[in-house]
Every structure is written in structure tokens, then in C-alpha cells.
Structure 1
Amino acid sequence: MAEGFASTGDLGEKNVSFTKLGEGAYAYTAEGDPNTGVIIGDEGVMVIDTQATPYMAGDVLRKIREITDKPVKFALLSHYHAVRVLGAAAFDPENIISSRLTLEMIEERGQQDWDSEFGRFPRLFQGHETIPGLTWPTIVFDQKLTVDLGNRKVEIMHVGKGHTQGDTIAWLPEEKVLYAGDLVEYGATPYTGDAHLAEWPATLEKLRALKPNKLVPGRGDALESAEKCEEAISQTRAFITDLYSNAQEAVAKGWDLQTLFNKCRETMAPKYGHWVIYEHCMPFDVARAYDEAKGKVRPTIWTAERDREMWGALNQG
């Protein structure tokens, strides 16, 4: 396993790319760190996921300002995890959009999530002192919302549970560009600590049915062909299926969490161990899969204390 707790030892800087996917459609990616999407219309800009701190979001904003001086009309939260949302203040958006189920997560566990994630991966919280507080949506929707940026309509949808209960995508139907958040990863390990694993594959099938030509995953490179989009969706589904199948087997056979963790390490590392943040994610992933397989539908809230207790127990084994 990785030395030390979670990713506290990960201090290396990443190379940033700002990829144009189509007219007014961009992806800010950084070698497996959390991605940000940017959509530009005639009247303004939408930012999809805003980095972990305003300081770090400042680099995204600088990239936007190299292209346009139009105001940031909307910040969209693809879900609620601190590394995705706490940088929103840097963009001074007119409105912040989330699904209703994402708002519920903020209300229930927003502060605990912030504390937990900061402890796990401090490099992703550079300039943490610039965070003004939790990021709260000003527009909340249930299933679908269409936003007009001026000659550019963006379909915002909650198509099902997966990475979290409130996962939200942004879809440009004419260009067939999909901003998938952490529902889809590419060359990066899905984090499933707050996931709904039994439902995630069906949600991925809904994304597949859109037949995207280009896709921005939560982590990993922006994908610029239908073949690469299909590859990313398939890889993500395979990981989720393998993880949850192992957990279901463990519960059926009466294994404890440590035995399941060892089994997953043995069977999954040869397939996925080269993916970004694999060692970081697996203890949290296995713990959640075990809970869900035992019938715990709603994920237990992760706290900084729970993180370290679980990590220490599994890695000592």
C-alpha cells in the first residue's frame, strides 16, 4: 500500500492542459487531478466544477480570460465533494447550480466532507485559507434544467445515482460533448466512498445512450473521439462491477472487511493498479462496497477521524 495516510505524501505538481473540444467548449485537466469544464456562449460562461480552493481556481479563470472577458454566469456542481466545489468564489458566478440531492448532501455532510478531504489530499487544497466557506447553490433542480448562455444551450441532467446520490452532467446535444463529472473516469480510479454501486452501472448506460463524441471525465484526459468515450464508460463500469461483485461475495461468505480488502487487492490490482490514485481510493472504496453489500443504502458520513481509523485498520492487515 501507499506510504503514509491516503495522499498526504503526494506533493508533485501536475502539468495542466486546456483543451478545446469544440467552439466554446473546453476542458481543464491536470494529469489525473480533478478536472474543470468550461462552456462559453454569446452572453456568458459556465464553469463545471470549480476546483478545491479559490487560489487553485484562479488558474482556471486565467485560462478563461485568455479567451473571453464574458462574465461567469453559472457554476455547475457535478456533485458535492470539497475538491470539486470550494473554489467557486474565484469565479464570482451569478448563480451556482446543483441537483436537489446534491444540496441534501451539502446540508447533511458538507463540513465533514471538507475536513475529511483536506486531511486526505492536502496538495489539492493549495491556498486553503482563501476558501470562504461551504459552496451553496442558488439554483436547485430535480431531473433536468436547460440553461441558455446566448446562442448556446446547455442541458443539465441528473440521470441517476452513481459516484454520489446527486450526480449531475452537462450535455451539449448539437456537438455531442458530455461533461460527466466523476460518473466517468479515464485512467483514474473511481472513488466510491459516497457511491451507490448497485445503481451506478445503469446510470452509465444512460450516458452511453447519449453517444457522446467527446467527453470530459472527472479525472483523466479530455476524450476527443466516440471510441475513447466508449472506452472510458466501459472501463469505469468494469471497475464498479468488479468492486461490488467482490463485496457481494464477501457478504455471502461471511468475510470480514479485511478479508474483502485483501481479495480486492489480489484480484483488482492487476487490472487497475496502474490507474491514478488507485492506492488512495481502494480502502475507502472497499469500505463503502462492503457497507452497501450488507444493505446500507445511504453512505456513512466520512469524517477525518473515521478516515484514519479505517485506513490504519486495513493497512495494518
Structure 2
Amino acid sequence: MTKAFASQGDLEEKKTSFTEIGPGLYAFTAEGDPNSGVIIGDDSVMVVEAQATPRLARKVIEHVREVTDKPITHLVLTHYHAVRVLGASAYGAQQIIMSDTARAMVAERGKEDWESEFQRFPRLFQGHEEIPGLTWPTTTFSEAMTVYLGNRRVDIMHLGRAHTAGDAVVWVPDAEVMFTGDIVEYHSACYCGDGHFSDWGETLDAIHAFDPVAIAPGRGDALQGREMVEAAIESTRDFVESTYRPVARVAARGGSLKEAFEACRAECDPKFSDYAIYEHCLPFNVSRAYDEARGIDTPRIWTAERDLEMWNALQG
């Protein structure tokens, strides 16, 4: 039986949670849907990840207002994907922050990504009529920048390529808490369709070196305590390596993309088939791994048309 394309068949509303992961630090999670983070400073608030639409962003704002009435002045977007950025207008933030590379990717492929993700995951784009257009940062950085929310220091850094070429993480040193975006996931498949498999492990090592006591991952439950943080980093590493390794072997012997897909399934299904969005991610992940294994360093741009062509070839 043909599988429903990507997440078009995922219509069930997810239960949201708002978990305190440090003093004045919160993770907004939604059973495998995209997470957001909240950092409360002395006089203002920073939100990490905007959500896909203003309607979804207002769910985050409702939770913020349960714990503080301070204004939301800063919005950090860890990368350019539509499900992370298109709700930005709801916050009215004074500064919208991305890495230089993430901004360049909005310019290069933001429109195509929006159309692609809208087709893949319609439930997340309910209320899309409110989206005013592509989200552009007001502030960018190359390697790192620091923001002070009053006396509270927040470090925003590019530690290396992983989920995308321009991934940012957000570190709150006084609490030893990190917001990692989609570099780290918990019981959710990593989406690797725009990823860099060969770099991802080193970027995870860089995160691990901070020895965080808690992490707000890109998807899945908030990670509280070093033991849970360690387990999530290692399961993310295992997912990425288990995806790339069998695909690279097939590519090295000149095998087809379909053969690579079957080899990846054989290795990953026993370990990860119950993860959120696993079936959605699998063909995109294999396609990107196959390209990288054949020397294509820059991920090819996904379009709505390319999505369907690939899906029908692999998951049809």
C-alpha cells in the first residue's frame, strides 16, 4: 500500500508541554512537533524558534504569559526551515537573530523550502494566511555573538554543520542549559535532507563539551539531567551514523538510490521505526546521504515537485 506523502496523513493535534529546564528557562514541546525555547532575563524575554505560523507562535506566547509579563524582545532562529521561522511576526521582537549562513539560505532557497514544507506537513501550517512572507533576520553573526537580557548573558553560536550548514545553538551559561535546534533530537527522527552527515558528529561533540545540565532539543521531550542529555546526544549520533553508513556503502559500489534506501531501512527500522516523523524523514535522509556519499557537499534544493518525484520513487 502506498504511504501517505510525508506527513500529510498526520492530522492529530499534539498535546503541548511547557517545561522549566532551568531558572527562567523553558522548553515548549509538542509530542514530536517542532519545539521552541524561552529565556527570561531581568527585563525582557528571548524566544528560540518561532514555529511555522503566527497561530502556532501564539501558543508559545500564551505559555510565556503564564510565567512573565516581560516583553519578548529577541527571537533566535537556529536555521532557515519554514516550520521554524514563518511564525516570527507574532512575537513583535526587536531583534530576529540568525547565523550569516542561515540568512544566505533564506535568500537561496527559502521560498522553495516554504512551498515544500507546506506540502509535506499541512497540519503545521494551519492559519498560514497570516504569514506575511519570508522571515528575514535583523541581526546576523558568523561564529558567535552575545546578548544580555539585563544581567543575563546568552551566547548564540555556530558550532559546526549538522542539520543544516547554518545551525545555531543558544547557551545560557549561568544555568548551563542549551537550546540546540534540530542538531539534537529525542525519540524523534532527525531530518537530514539538508544535512551534513560527515560533520554532524563533530558538532555533537562540541555540544557535549559544554556539559549541559539540560537541553531543549529540536523535537521531543525536554532533556533534564546530564544522564538524559548524554543519552539523547548519543541516540542522535547513532541515528545519523546508522542512516549514512549503509547508504555510503551502496553508493561506493555504484548501487542505486533505491538500493541505498532498502539498505538504510534494514539498519534503521529495528532501532528507530517508532520515532516521531521517521517514515516522513527516511526518503529525504537517504537522498541526501546518497548525494553526500557521491561528493555533493551542498545539499540540493528541495522543491515541491522534487519532493513528490523522490517520494514516489522510494516510498511509493
TM-score band by shorter chain is over 0.9
- Give the Cα separation in 2 of the matches to 1:34 and 1:110: 18
- Give the Cα separation in 1 of the matches to 2:108 and 2:129: 23
Query: What is the Cα deviation at residue 151 of structure 1?
Result: 2.0
Query: What is the Cα deviation at residue 161 of structure 1?
Result: 0.3
Alignment match, 1:152: 152
Alignment match, 2:175: 175
Alignment match, 2:12: 12
Amino acid at match of 1:18: F
Amino acid at match of 2:120: R
8 Å CA contact retained: 2:247, 2:263 = no
Identity over aligned pairs, percent: 54
Kindly indicate whether residue 83 of structure 2 is the aligned counterpart of residue 72 of structure 1: no
Query: What is the Cα deviation at residue 243 of structure 1?
Result: 1.3
Task: Please state whether the residue corresponding to 1:184 is helix, strand or coil.
Answer: coil
- Give the Cα separation in 2 of the matches to 1:237 and 1:299: 20
Alignment match, 2:29: 29
* Structure 1, gaps ≥5 residues long: none
Alignment match, 2:83: 83
Amino acid at match of 2:27: A
- Give the Cα separation in 1 of the matches to 2:315 and 2:94: 45
- Give the Cα separation in 1 of the matches to 2:38 and 2:255: 45
- Give the Cα separation in 2 of the matches to 1:263 and 1:2: 19
Task: Please state whether the residue corresponding to 1:198 is helix, strand or coil.
Answer: helix
Amino acid at match of 2:33: D
Partner deviation per Cα, 1:199-225 (whole Å, 9 max, x = no partner): 111010000111111001000000111
8 Å CA contact retained: 1:162, 1:200 = yes
Equivalent residue pairs, number = 316
Q: Where do residues 123-162 of structure 1 align in structure 2 (5 Å cutoff)?
A: 123-162=123-162
Alignment match, 2:105: 105
8 Å CA contact retained: 1:244, 1:289 = yes
Query: What is the Cα deviation at residue 303 of structure 1?
Result: 0.2
8 Å CA contact retained: 2:247, 2:261 = no
Kindly indicate whether residue 221 of structure 2 is the aligned counterpart of residue 221 of structure 1: yes
Comparing 81-90 with 66-75, which one deviates more in the overlay?
66-75
Kindly indicate whether residue 29 of structure 2 is the aligned counterpart of residue 40 of structure 1: no
8 Å CA contact retained: 2:189, 2:278 = yes
Alignment match, 1:251: 251
Amino acid at match of 1:131: I
Query: What is the Cα deviation at residue 245 of structure 1?
Result: 1.1
Amino acid at match of 2:257: L
8 Å CA contact retained: 1:2, 1:279 = no
Alignment match, 1:121: 121
8 Å CA contact retained: 2:99, 2:167 = yes
- Give the Cα separation in 2 of the matches to 1:63 and 1:148: 22
8 Å CA contact retained: 2:22, 2:214 = no
* Structure 2, gaps ≥5 residues long: none
Q: Where do residues 221-300 of structure 1 align in structure 2 (5 Å cutoff)?
A: 221-300=221-300
Query: What is the Cα deviation at residue 254 of structure 1?
Result: 1.2
8 Å CA contact retained: 1:35, 1:218 = yes
TM-score, structure 2 normalization? 0.98
Alignment match, 2:192: 192
Kindly indicate whether residue 241 of structure 2 is the aligned counterpart of residue 203 of structure 1: no
Amino acid at match of 2:155: E
Partner deviation per Cα, 1:123-149 (whole Å, 9 max, x = no partner): 111111111111000000001111001
Query: What is the Cα deviation at residue 2 of structure 1?
Result: 7.0
Amino acid at match of 1:29: T
TM-score, structure 1 normalization? 0.98
Amino acid at match of 2:199: E
